[in-house]
Each structure stands twice: as C-alpha cells, then as structure tokens.
C-alpha cells in the first residue's frame, strides 16, 4: 500500500479529525472543502476541469484542476495530493451522497500522485494536472471494478487549505474478476429549441401581401409536392381550401409552410428563397449543426425530435421518436385545465397532436417510421395530463423523477403503465440522480466537485456503476435524459464515457417501453413540488387571446367583404395559409385565405410561446411577436396627418384622409370630437377605402365665437370599437358675421355717425363758451 507524501494528509482525509498544521493552527475538514455549511465562500477551493471518467486497462488516470485563492493575500508554493482507498466499497446510496457532500468519514490512504503548486496571487488561481500511468503502483493494484472514493487535497506549509472529494470509477476491462450482467440504460435527448425569432419585416410583407415573387409563385414543384404530402397525412390541417369561385386552391407552399403559416416571400437577393415570419437564430443553426455531429457519433443515443424544429434546422439526424410539435407543454396545459383559454389564444389540440407531429415529420423529408412520444413539460405528469396526451395520440410519454415520488431501497425499472379514460399510457420515468447530473446540475449544493462538468461526469459514472453493483443479477431498465439546452460537447463527453462503461448496456426507447413494467394501474403518485406557476401561463394566454381577437376584428368588422362569425369560427388557418401562398397571382376580393394565413402565423407563434422549455425569453418573444402582428394589421388602416384649419365664418369643412395599406378594401367609421362647446364638428362619417388606396371624409365645423380648439379624429370598426391612430387637428376661429346681419350693423353704424355729425354742427353754444 502506498504511503502518504505528507504526514498531515492522513488526518485531512478523516472528516472526524482536524488537520493540525506545523504552526499549531487547526484547519477542520469542512473549512477546506470549498463552501462551508453556512453557504459563505471558503478562502480556498478546488474545481475539476478535466478528469478520466472511466479507468480502463490502458487509460491510466488524468485529472486537471484549478485551485482558487479567494483571499486578499498570496499563498506560498504548495503541493496537491491525489489519494484513494483501494479497499473501500460503497455499500449504500447514502454513502455515495455523503462522500460527495464531504460528510463521510472515509480515509483515503493510497496515493495516486502529487504535483507542485506555484504560489497563488491574492484572488488568483493556479491550474495543475496529475497524470497517473497504468503502471503506477496504486492504480495497478486496483483489482476490482466500480466506484472508489477520490480525494484532492491542497497543502501549503503543512496546512490543509482545500480538499475536494470526488470519484474514480474502474471498468472491468483488463480485470480477472467475475463479470455480472450489465444494467440496461436508455439515454434520450430532446432535439428541439426555444430560440425562435420573429422577422418583423416578413410579418409586414405578409400583411401587405407584397411577399410573393413576380410571377405569383415562389414555390418549386418539389415544395408543392411536400405540401400535398402534409395535406394528405395531416389531420384537420389537410383540408383543401376553396377559392371564391368554388374551385379547390392549389397549395403552392414551401415544404415548411405548415411550420410558419406559409409566410413565404422571395429573398432580397432574388434567389427565390423563402423568408419566414418565424425563424431560428444564427446561433441556433450552429448549435443544431454541432448536435447533429454528436448524434452521428453516438448511435445508441435516443434522439426525440420536435418535427417542427426538424423542418427548420438543416440537421437530419437518425431519429428514435418524434415529440409533440413545437415542444408544446402538455403537462401545463392539463394543469391550467382551460381548453377554451387555449383555443382563444389560437392553440387547438390538433396543433400538437400525434397526427400533426407525424405529418410534419413526413414533410421534413423523413421516410422511416417514427413513434410519437410526448416529452414532459414544465409541470409533472398527472392523470389528467396523461389522459390529454393519450387523447391526442401519444401512447408513450417521457417523465422526470417527479412522476413517482415513492422512494425504494434500490433503483428499479422506470417503465410504468397507467390506465386512463382515453387508454393505457406507457410512462418512461428517468432515474433521479442520473437525470440530475445529465442535465448539468449538482445532486446537492454541498456536492462541491459537481460544480463543474468534469466533476458531475465523475459522479455520474460512479453512480451508475453503484446502481449495477447494488443488484447485479436483477434485470432493470433505467432512463436518463439530457435537457433541452445541453451542449453538444457535454452530450458527447457523457456518451463517450457511457460507451466505455462495461457495466452498462445502452438500449433504445422501444426496448425500455416493452420491458416488464414496474407498476400498472390508474394511480399516479406525483411530486408536484417543482410544478410551474400557472399564473404566468394564464397571463400569456390572455395576451395571445387579445392579439388573435384583433385579427378577427379585422376579419369581421373592418374588412369591406367581412367574414361573418360562423365563417370566422370555422377557419382552418393552416389550410388557408397554404391556399394563400400564391394569392398575388390569383387575387380575388375574398380575404378568407389571407386572413387564414395571418391567423396561421399568429397561432404558430402562440404554440411556440407555450413550450415545455424554461426559457421565458422565448415565450416573451413569441407573445410580443403575436401582438406586433395584430398591431401592424390594425395600424395598416390609419389617419394621415392633416394641417390646422382656420375658420372665418360660422361653418367650414375639415377634410380627413384615411389610408388603407392592406391588400383588401375596408369599410369603417371615422369619428371627430373637439375640446370646445363653441367650436364643434360633425360627429362621424362612414367610408370605404379600396386596397392600397386613400379615401377622404369631410367633417363640418360650426363655430359661435372666435377662439381655438383641437379636433380629435379616431376610427372605429362597424361595431363601434376604436382602433388605429388618433389624429389631432388644430382649429382656429376668426369670427366673421353673415352678410344680412353685417349690412344691418354697418347701416346702423353709418346712421349713428351721421346723427353725431349733425348734432355737432347744429348744437347751440353756451353763452359762457
């Protein structure tokens, strides 16, 4: 057994004993671990930058770590020690967690290596590495596979300044010990994104209907064929729209039109590329490309793709399953429990159904069959949520550890079958600790080594090995999932380590779904302590309902050829959007298809605003985009600025010009009111304004005195609800009297003047004068 390089280190590895420095001071183990129990930062800590996740016969062990000095004083040069315990075996999950939290009294007397650490400046750091060869005495003596405790210690002047417990995991590679059956592990990752952006220019073009190519057709025959495929395989979205003359409209839409409501336009470079109202950011395109490369390297990784995101990204990975379109949050939908609120916001159940997911998947160019699997949203899977998912065609769902709150002595298969009123649902529940680590989170705030990716990966591999060792001959199927935002580099590192784990058998989702379920029944024991606040969702729904109602106002009470309430309620936005893709070339006076395309854009924004991702910025962006769409639409009918009016008689005319930038005629009311009782205008006038045209209305001004006021001119729809801008026009009255009264007054004044002059010349003088 290797001897310790420093006599002080032996005590440093025993949590029950303090470490006594040569100067007589005492440093307890808790003081040296990075963060003390009160949550304040320690003076010194260690962060693992890189470490060998699985030790094999040829790998050796390599670790790079950074020692941080958080004090205002520089440290002297010191030594870092790497120690383990060859004879120790973890016997419980509690032991594993206590060691990670630095509260387990486990000695580590076996040295793996040391390294000299240079002096560290005040508030500075030093990064060093320890490389242990396969022939090193301690590592070569490691004769059994599995997790071992590993301690990093930093000592200067015989004083322990920092200590960090982590794990070393040995595979069975090269060992002569008996082999036990590998534990089944399924690793899944959601291929989706919340990085959607709204192109306001494309929105304006779609509103004005100036977004088509000169020949009225911006779609290739291949794109039309793809759209027809979506029509034939979709649900209600596959219904063909009908033009004004009753003929079926050809769906000349690009292949991604079901994604963004066929908001197509040629790009400014004249290439005919489709500009969309809803796009992905450039950064997300890079992220998708990196993920695609990682997926190609690890075929055992189960990619569950959002079919709408799959369409937009340039990545075509091998897909294990498809999830609900736009990663719609089904669990929060069930928690809110208000289908009408979602419908008013523009989100129908058909938008996130399994049928629509399958339709979108085919449009993306995929030919192989893929199973729809619903991914958990912000809230836990409840019986209501499972029923909603099953009603929309999802017979399998993926759940996190909140699904079954019961704790068992050992890990078990994560397959459940729940009986719902809509049918049985297979729930694949992920293992809590593995899932937490895979998502880049520490198992607790006190697990200091797990603040870095390398530290978390070391714990993940050790934990998975322990799970296999605790019941080596029991067949179990565990699930581990990555988060929606995990990087390609992290996923690659984890999968590379798992593929070296001799104790694991990486299986697919279908195999796990077909495994003997751990539980079958109609009860769901849910831990809802992490459930999202539905208040935020309700607020988002209200905002989306308002913006959609504004579009319907345009359709029903502003457009000259309005849609009546029954027509509006029966609109299929997605199908009408496909009809409208070449509307410039076949333009009629019927605005139905145009309104349908605007609703499709709005509703696609709405469904993206309510995803299961915790990215509130995405929800805000989509909600704001929907509000901008409605605002731009209503503001396309606007009152032009007018000059001030001067009035020189009892009445005058005030002309007001209204512009209609829309591609369809409107019929509205224009209202005027002044701030004065003595200078007033006529109250309202109705006007029809052709598409892309101006029209003028004239108000009569009546005055009874000189003065000034302001006329406030507004617009209302035919229901009397105001919209658009307000034009304030200044009115100045310089009072002029009418001709009849003027002559009378002038004649009377002349008469008085004559009388006055006569009296002046015929007046008798006073004798004294």
Nearest to 605 by CA among 551, 569, 664: 551
Nearest to 159 by CA among 83, 77, 99: 77
Residue 737: C-alpha distances to residues 205, 428, 649 (Å): 53, 89, 7
Tally of domains within the chain: 4
Q: Report yes or no on 229 lying in a domain.
A: yes
Q: Report yes or no on 484 lying in a domain.
A: no
CB contact at 8 A, 682 and 759: no
Structure tokens at 117: 């650490």
Q: What are the φ and ψ backbone dihedral angles of 660, each rounded to 5 degrees? A: -120, 105
* Domain identity same for 680 and 731: yes
Q: What is the largest CA-CA distance in the chain?
A: 157
* Domain end residue (candidates: 150, 179, 208): 179
* Domain end residue (candidates: 608, 635, 662): 635
pLDDT score of 474:
93
**β-strands 666-674, 707-716: how paired?**
antiparallel
Q: Report yes or no on 758 lying in a domain.
A: no
Give, for 716, the enclosing helix (H) or strand (E). strand 707-716
* Domain identity same for 430 and 342: yes
Structure tokens at 404: 């079954």
pTM for the structure as a whole: 0.82
Q: Report yes or no on 493 lying in a domain.
A: no
Residue 529, classified by CB atoms within 10 Å of its CB into exposed (0-12), middle (13-18) or buried (19+), is exposed
Structure tokens at 28: 């307890």
* Domain identity same for 164 and 308: no
Query: Which mean pLDDT values do the consecutive 10-residue runs of the chain (769 residues) have?
Result: 36 35 35 46 93 96 98 96 96 95 95 97 97 96 95 95 97 88 97 92 89 39 37 36 33 34 33 59 90 96 95 89 96 96 96 95 82 96 97 97 86 96 97 97 96 98 96 95 96 97 97 96 86 89 97 94 67 56 58 92 95 85 96 96 90 94 95 93 94 95 91 95 94 70 68 78 67
Nearest to 303 by CA among 367, 234, 437, 398: 398
Give, for 697, the enclosing helix (H) or strand (E). strand 693-703
* Domain identity same for 548 and 643: no
Packed helices 200-208 and 592-609: angle between N→C axes, nearest 10 degrees: 160
In the chain, the N- to C-terminal Cα span, in Å, equals: 148
* Domain identity same for 38 and 170: yes
pLDDT score of 69:
97
* Domain end residue (candidates: 635, 653, 674): 635
Structure tokens at 363: 């449009």
CB contact at 8 A, 594 and 664: yes
* Domain identity same for 128 and 222: no
Give, for 170, the enclosing helix (H) or strand (E). strand 159-170
* Rg of the chain, C-alpha, whole Å: 38
* Domain identity same for 213 and 295: no
Nearest to 316 by CA among 296, 336, 340: 296
Structure tokens at 507: 């299986």
Q: Report yes or no on 750 lying in a domain.
A: no
Q: Which domain holds residue 292?
A: 187-193+281-440+505-521
pLDDT score of 747:
73
Contacts of 167 (CB under 8 A, 6+ apart): 99, 100, 147, 148, 149, 150, 458, 459, 461, 462
pLDDT score of 262:
33
The CATH number covering residue 95 comes to 2.60.40.10
pLDDT score of 741:
58
How many residues does this entry show for the chain?
Answer: 769
* Domain identity same for 27 and 158: yes
Three-point CA angle 406, 408, 411, nearest 5°: 115
Strands (E), 593-689: 637-639, 645-647, 651-660, 666-674, 679-681, 684-689
pLDDT score of 211:
56
Q: Report yes or no on 745 lying in a domain.
A: no
CB contact at 8 A, 679 and 709: yes
Place of tokens 């310089």: 734
* Domain identity same for 560 and 426: no
Nearest to 431 by CA among 478, 498, 486: 478
Strands (E), 692-763: 693-703, 707-716, 722-733
CA distance linking residue 687 with residue 539, whole number of Å: 37
* Domain identity same for 64 and 144: yes
- DSSP conformation class of 118: -
* Domain identity same for 261 and 314: no
* Domain identity same for 203 and 341: no
pLDDT score of 738:
53
Q: Report yes or no on 562 lying in a domain.
A: yes
The DSSP code sequence of 208-236 is: HT--S-TTS----HHHHHHHHHHHHHSSG
Q: Report yes or no on 82 lying in a domain.
A: yes
């Amino acid at each position: 057994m290797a001897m310790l390089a420093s006599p002080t280190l032996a005590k440093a590895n025993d949590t029950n004993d303090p470490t006594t420095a040569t100067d007589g001071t005492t440093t307890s183990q808790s003081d040296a671990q990075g963060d003390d129990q009160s949550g304040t930062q320690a003076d010194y800590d260690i962060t693992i930058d890189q470490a060998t996740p699985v030790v094999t016969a040829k790998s050796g062990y390599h670790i790079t770590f950074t020692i941080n000095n958080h004090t205002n004083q520089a440290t002297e040069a010191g030594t870092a020690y790497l120690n383990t315990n060859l004879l120790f075996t973890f016997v419980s999950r509690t032991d594993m967690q206590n060691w990670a939290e630095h509260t387990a009294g486990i000695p580590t007397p076996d040295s793996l290596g040391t390294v000299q650490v240079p002096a560290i400046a005040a508030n500075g750091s030093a990064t060093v590495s320890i490389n242990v060869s396969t022939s090193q005495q301690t590592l070569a003596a490691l004769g059994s596979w599995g997790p071992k405790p590993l301690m990093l210690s930093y000592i200067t002047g015989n004083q322990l300044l920092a200590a960090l417990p982590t794990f070393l995991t040995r595979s069975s590679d090269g060992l002569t010990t008996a082999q036990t059956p590998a534990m089944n592990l399924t690793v899944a990752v959601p291929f989706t994104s919340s990085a959607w952006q709204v192109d306001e220019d494309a929105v304006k073009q779609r509103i004005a209907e100036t977004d088509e190519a000169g020949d009225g057709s911006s779609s290739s025959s291949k794109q039309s064929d793809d759209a027809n495929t979506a029509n034939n395989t979709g649900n209600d979205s596959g219904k063909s729209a009908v033009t004004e003359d009753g003929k079926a409209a050809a769906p000349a839409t690009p292949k991604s039109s079901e994604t963004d409501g066929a908001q197509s336009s040629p790009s400014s470079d004249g290439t005919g590329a489709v500009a969309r109202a809803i796009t992905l950011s450039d950064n997300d395109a890079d992220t998708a490309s990196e993920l695609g490369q990682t997926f190609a390297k690890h075929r055992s990784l189960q990619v569950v793709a959002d079919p709408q995101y799959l369409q937009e990204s340039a990545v075509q990975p091998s897909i294990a399953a498809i999830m609900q379109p736009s990663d719609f949050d089904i669990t929060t939908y069930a928690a809110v429990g208000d289908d009408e609120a979602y419908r008013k916001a523009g989100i129908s159940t058909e938008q996130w159904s399994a049928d629509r997911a399958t339709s979108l998947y085919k449009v993306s160019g995929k030919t192989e069959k893929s199973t729809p699997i619903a991914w958990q949203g912000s809230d836990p899977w409840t019986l209501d949520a499972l029923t909603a998912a099953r009603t929309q065609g999802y017979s399998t769902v993926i759940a996190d550890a909140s699904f079954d709150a019961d704790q068992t002595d050992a890990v078990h298969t994560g397959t459940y079958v729940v009986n719902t009123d809509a049918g049985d649902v297979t729930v694949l529940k992920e293992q809590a600790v593995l899932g937490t680590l895979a998502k880049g989170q520490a198992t607790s705030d006190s697990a200091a080594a797990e603040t870095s990716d390398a530290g978390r990966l070391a714990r993940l591999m050790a934990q998975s090995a322990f799970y296999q060792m605790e019941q080596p001959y029991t067949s179990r199927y565990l699930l581990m999932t990555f988060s929606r935002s995990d990087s390609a580099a992290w996923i690659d590192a984890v999968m590379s380590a798992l593929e070296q784990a001799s104790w694991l058998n990486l299986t697919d989702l279908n195999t796990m779904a077909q495994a003997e379920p751990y539980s079958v029944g109609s009860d769901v024991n849910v831990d809802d302590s992490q459930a999202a606040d539905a208040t935020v969702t309700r607020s988002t729904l209200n905002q989306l309902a308002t913006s959609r109602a504004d579009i319907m106002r345009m359709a029903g009470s502003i457009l000259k050829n309005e849609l009546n309430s029954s027509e509006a309620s029966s609109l299929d936005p997605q199908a009408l959007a496909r009809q409208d893709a070449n509307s410039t070339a076949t333009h009629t006076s019927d605005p139905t298809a145009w309104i349908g395309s605007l609703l499709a854009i709005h509703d696609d924004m709405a469904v993206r605003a309510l995803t299961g991702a915790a990215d509130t910025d995405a929800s805000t962006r989509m909600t704001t985009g929907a509000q901008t769409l409605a605002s731009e639409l209503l503001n396309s009918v606007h009152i032009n600025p007018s000059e001030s009016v001067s009035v020189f008689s009892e009445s005058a005319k005030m002309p007001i010009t209204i512009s209609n930038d829309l591609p369809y005629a409107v019929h509205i009311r224009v209202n005027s009111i002044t701030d004065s009782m003595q200078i007033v205008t006529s109250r309202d006038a109705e006007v029809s304004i052709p598409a892309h045209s101006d029209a003028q209305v004239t108000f009569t001004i009546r005055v009874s005195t000189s003065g000034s006021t302001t006329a406030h001119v507004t617009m209302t729809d035919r229901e009397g609800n105001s919209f658009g801008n307000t034009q304030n026009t200044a009115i100045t009255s310089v009072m002029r009297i009418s001709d009849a009264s003027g002559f009378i007054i002038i004649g009377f004044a002349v008469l008085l003047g004559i009388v006055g002059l006569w009296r002046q010349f015929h007046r008798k003088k006073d004798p004294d004068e």
